[in-house]
């Protein structure tokens, strides 16, 4: 892939923030983009200014939601270099999502090279403040300028990056999660395991209801029996039994195969925990919380890292977990995972890709 690097107008460049990062509302000066058409394949690869698109109102994505995205992060190490965390997994998942949404494949190595080049150009935007990172958002949309329910023949693939702090306002502190017993996120055979915008759009209504009840996230149950735990809004979920065993629901096709989840499974085993991918019956799990058998619950995801769950709500009942405190297993995994991500501890799994930070 030949990437044209467009010179930017130096006078109009934004400077990166050093604190108050928020999440997802600040972006670096440059973005990567390329276009696809049936006759040319992928073409016009460029790193140019972060700028608006001009698309006709009839553009396919606005009507039929043919869209996929990814989320990964770049971490500033103490030695000034930058780590990407398992970016190969994001490239692979992007293509899996593309396949499910009838979109073209992107060469995974070229996609990653384009991201590395963008980060090299925007290295000043990778923050060094504790807990902060550069969020990387690859996206693809169908851009045929016409109505009609069929796969688009033209696509736009772009990558934007921006510095972020903690995903939850709570930081690394427990969050409260509402269990939806009425609405479902995804069903087996649907698109729940693809990272496509519609999954998130469908979750917003329930998310708002949960917020009104004082909860910050929704826990989804399986769509067929409404009985088995699936995942949380933007995280997979793990249960700790008796402080020793970590259980997470299996990948049945309706939940996102999280890269953090996969890492927690490997890391957990390496640290001596018993880790199992097993169906979790919501009623048994809640009874186990009440009886003190479930000692911790935590979500895991790129944005949220490890997010302890302090409380579940179901109908009008509340289930307090570990006295709404961060538990030792969540803390252990958080320290190890972020230690590897930020290069504080050796990467014994070969999960990181280190690039020059300046
Ligand atoms: C629905 C959903 N589940 C799980 C995850 C966690 O996935 P990952 O660890 O790859 O970020 C995410 C975040 O990307 C998500 O949006």
pLDDT digits (tens, 9 = 90+) for 282-328: 999 999 999 999 999 999 999 989 999 999 999 999 999 999 999 99
Measured from the Cα of 263, ligand 1's closest atom is: 9
Q: Return the number of other C-beta atoms located less than 10 Å from residue 354's C-beta.
A: 14
Cα dist from 86 to 9, 133, 302, whole Å: 34, 15, 11
CB 60 within 8 A of CB 152: yes
What fold, for 175-341? D-amino Acid Aminotransferase; Chain A, domain 2 (3.20.10)
Among residues 188, 178, 182, 277, the alpha carbon closest in space to that of 226 is found at 182
Q: pLDDT tens-digit profile of 16-39?
A: 999 899 999 999 999 999 999 999
CA angle 203, 180, 329 (to 5 degrees): 95
Candidate of 71, 168, 256, 341 to mutate for ligand 1, largest count of ligand atoms within 8 Å of Cβ: 256
By alpha-carbon position, which residue is closest to atom 7 of ligand 1? 258
Q: Where are the domains of the chain?
A: 4-164, 175-341
C-beta 301 within 6 A of ligand 1: yes
Give the domain 4-164 fold.
D-amino Acid Aminotransferase; Chain A, domain 1 (3.30.470)
pLDDT grade, residue 166 (50/70/90)? confident
DSSP string covering 213-227, please?
TT-SEEEEE-TTTS-
DSSP β-ladder status, 217-221 and 229-232: antiparallel
73 pLDDT more than 90: yes
Tell me if 216 CB under 6 Å of ligand 1. Answer: no
% of residues, the chain, pLDDT over 90? 94
Q: How buried is 54 (Cβ within 10 angstroms: 0-12 exposed, 13-18 middle, 19+ buried)?
A: exposed
pTM: 0.97
């Amino acid at each position: 892939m030949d990437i044209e690097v467009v010179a930017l107008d130096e006078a109009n460049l934004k400077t990166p923030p050093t604190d108050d990062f928020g999440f997802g509302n600040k972006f670096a000066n440059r973005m990567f983009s390329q276009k696809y058409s049936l006759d040319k394949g992928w073409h016009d690869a460029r790193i140019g200014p972060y700028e608006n698109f001009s698309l006709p109102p009839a553009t396919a994505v606005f009507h039929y939601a043919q869209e996929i995205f990814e989320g990964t992060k770049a971490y500033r190490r103490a030695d000034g270099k930058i780590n990407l965390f398992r970016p190969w997994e994001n490239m692979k998942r992007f293509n899996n999502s593309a396949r499910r949404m009838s979109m073209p494949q992107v060469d995974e190595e070229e996609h990653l090279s384009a991201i590395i080049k963008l980060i090299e150009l925007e290295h000043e935007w990778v923050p060094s403040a504790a807990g902060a990172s550069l969020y990387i958002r690859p996206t693809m949309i169908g851009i045929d300028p016409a109505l009609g329910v069929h796969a688009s023949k033209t696509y736009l693939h772009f990558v934007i990056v921006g510095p972020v702090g903690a995903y939850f306002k709570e930081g690394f502190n427990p969050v409260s999660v509402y269990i939806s017993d009425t609405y479902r996120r995804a069903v087996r055979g649907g698109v729940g395991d693809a990272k496509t915008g519609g999954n998130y759009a469908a979750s917003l209504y329930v998310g708002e209801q949960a917020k009104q009840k004082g909860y910050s996230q929704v826990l989804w149950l399986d769509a067929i029996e409404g009985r088995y735990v699936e995942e949380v809004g933007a995280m997979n979920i793990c249960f700790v039994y008796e402080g020793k065993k970590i259980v997470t629901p299996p990948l049945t096709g309706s939940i996102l195969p999280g890269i953090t989840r996969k890492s927690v499974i490997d890391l957990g085993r390496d640290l001596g925990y018993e880790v199992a991918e097993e169906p979790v019956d919501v009623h048994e799990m809640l009874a186990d919380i009440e009886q003190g058998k479930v000692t911790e619950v935590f979500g895991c995801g790129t944005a949220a890292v490890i997010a302890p769950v302090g409380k579940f709500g179901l109908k009008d009942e509340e289930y307090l977990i570990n006295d709404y405190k961060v538990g030792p297993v969540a803390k252990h995994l958080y320290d190890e995972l972020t230690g590897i991500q930020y290069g504080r501890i050796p990467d014994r799994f070969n999960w990181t890709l280190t690039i020059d930070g300046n």
